[in-house]
A and B are shown apart, each in its own frame.
Chain A
Amino acid sequence: MRVVVDGVSKVYVDRAGQPVRALDGIDLSVEHEEFVAVLGPSGCGKSTLLNLIAGLLAPSAGGIWLDGELPAGRTPTAMVFQEFALFPWRTVQANVEFGLEEMGVPAPARARRARTFIELTGLAGFESRYPHQLSGGMRQRVGIARALAVEPAVLLMDEPFSALDAQTRQLMQEELLAIWEGARQTIVYVTHNIHEAVYMADRVVVLSRRPGRVMAEVKIELPRPREERMIGDPAFVASVERIWSLIREQAAVALRDGAG
């Protein structure tokens, strides 16, 4: 499915009762089976944008649409959270089954389908563990398996690997890309990490500081499947530098304002 974000603004009311404009007139479309990274400095409203697409927030202006075919038994969107957001009282298996339960999939089919994605994400053997018994990387695998299990047309990922250490992050990025090569959902991937955005995405949408606006869209001209060695590729370096030059000033302002 295609994601169409049409003139979306979001105004929050903060604790002091003051209106805060988080997003301002965002126009964005993500094509069917496209991998788009949304990149921006801290406090640019990129997570807000993702929550809007997930239907967890209402836009103050504009509209959001999901266009295209939705085969039976699939859900429009699913989300992977930065802080994993696993249910601590559910085992790995039960966490992965959660979305299927809400879809009304009967128990045996649910268990089978969950099992498939548990294996795909390298969680086999950990089915009956609780989240607190797992490492950060394993927990996020559960988060990804839970999202993939409902076979979403659009997968929303909110800085999924930013809580992980650098080595784990690199491995998880590769695993996610490998899974995506097989399944080919539309992905909207929020990150503040330029390397990660360039390495993973077809297109990087750069947001400005609050109020978040689309500053630029950078198409990444790297072949797929992506490989680690491409990180030294001139096209990779050029994209990273281009994006860095775009957000450098903004990041510096954010640092001064203490918004980080």
Chain B
Amino acid sequence: MSRSGHPRTEPPSRSPLQRIHVRDRAAFLARPQHRALRLVALVGLVVAWEAVARVGWVPVLFLPSPVGVLIEAAEMLRSGELVGHLAASLSRLLLGFAVGAALGVAVGVVVGFFAVAEAVGTPVIAATFPIPKIALLPLLILWLGLGEPSKVAVIALGVFFPMAINTFTGVRQADPLLVRAAVAFGARRWSVIRKVVLPSALPMIFAGLRLGAGTALLLLVAAEMIAVESGIGFLVLHAGNLMQTTKLMVGIVVLSLLGVVSHWSLGRLERLAIPWRTA
């Protein structure tokens, strides 16, 4: 800024007077929700699918129509076939998920909080985490047999790793100031873990639950393709083998719904569990 009395480097030259209308230059950065468009996209996909099936470009054997899938689903619901498969899948899924999540959180907290556990746990987890869990299924079947335990175990394993790693990260991200404050008010180790470290890690734990839910679904289907007579994975494989494409599609739609429902309910649960979240 040049104040009066300071010499200017250049003499001021006259230019024509202008009037500039100041406009919102950041308007293009706005990101409106476009709620209607979201619905249109989904409906449009189904309509397009139905149209392709109706026109007959693709044989029904390869691509059954959405209406056909819906009718088949209703039929399977009435006969109890779908409910049976769904119940079998859900029980495996929930049990495996619960076991894996609980173990993952426990291990994550211990490894994140105790230096000795970190020294032992980190290399072990780093070495075992990259193994695709599907590859362990034959081994688990060998150890636990063809029954339910091997299926539940592979799902639990798949959920365990993202949970343990996320919990560990969450624990390590706990604000040292809050830990110090807790100690200043008399908190000992267990109180610090329960009242500071765990709540701090909750957002990361929920992110882990969402990751784990995806993995669980994947492993569920894989596990149900080996030596079972029930479950959505079995339904999909079996229908495929018999060229019952419509049935197969029902299975796929149910899996998709399972994914959507689990994601949505975890989101709800998170909002309930973390009421202090600003966003």
Contact = CB atoms under 8 A, between A and B. Distances in A.
Contact of B185 (A89, A98, A131): A98
Interface in A65-107: 75, 77-79, 81, 83, 85, 87-90, 98-99, 101-103
Contact of A98 (B177, B182, B188, B276): B182
Nearest to A50: B184
A85 B183 CA distance: 12
A56 interface: yes
B54 interface: no
A110 interface: no
A79 B274 CA distance: 27
Contacts of A144: none
A75 B186 contact: yes
Contact of A130 (B180, B187, B202, B276): B276
Contacts of A131: 276
Given A101-B191, A102-B186, A102-B191, 20 more contacts: A51-B180, A54-B184, A56-B180, A75-B186, A81-B181, A83-B177, A85-B178, A85-B181, A87-B178, A88-B276, A89-B276, A98-B185, A98-B195, A102-B185, A102-B187, A102-B188, A130-B275, A132-B276, A146-B185, A150-B186
A51 B181 CA distance: 11
A17 to B, nearest CB: 19
Of the candidates B186, B195, B202, B278, the one having the most CB atoms from chain A within 10 angstroms of its own CB is B186
17 contacts: A78-B184, A79-B181, A79-B185, A85-B178, A87-B196, A89-B276, A98-B185, A99-B185, A101-B191, A102-B185, A102-B186, A102-B188, A102-B191, A130-B276, A132-B276, A146-B185, A150-B185
A77 B196 CA distance: 20
B274 to A, nearest CB: 8
Interface of B: 177-178, 180-188, 191, 195-196, 199, 202, 274-276, 278
A13 to B, nearest CB: 16
A75 B199 CA distance: 26
Contact of A89 (B177, B184, B199): B199
B180 A99 contact: no
B279 to A, nearest CB: 10
Nearest to B199: A89
B190 to A, nearest CB: 11
Given A81-B177, A83-B177, A87-B195, A56 B276 contact: no
A79 B177 contact: no
Chain A's interface size range is: 20 to 34
Nearest to B191: A102
A85 B180 contact: yes
Contacts of A101: 191
A56 B178 contact: no
B185 A78 contact: yes
Contacts of B278: 132
A56 B182 contact: no
A41 to B, nearest CB: 22
A99 B186 contact: yes
Contacts of B183: 56
* Of listed A75, A85, A103, A130, residue having the most chain B CB within 10 A: A85
Contacts of B178: 85, 87
A41 B186 CA distance: 30
Nearest to A103: B186
A85 B275 CA distance: 18
B185 A87 contact: no
Contacts of B185: 78-79, 98-99, 102, 146, 150
Nearest to A104: B186
Contacts of A130: 275-276
Contacts of A77: 184
B156 to A, nearest CB: 28
Interface string A118-155: 00000000000011100000000000001000100000
B199 A56 contact: no
A12 to B, nearest CB: 15
Contacts of A83: 177
B31 to A, nearest CB: 24
A131 B276 CA distance: 8
A56 B184 contact: yes
Contacts of A146: 185
Contacts of B188: 102
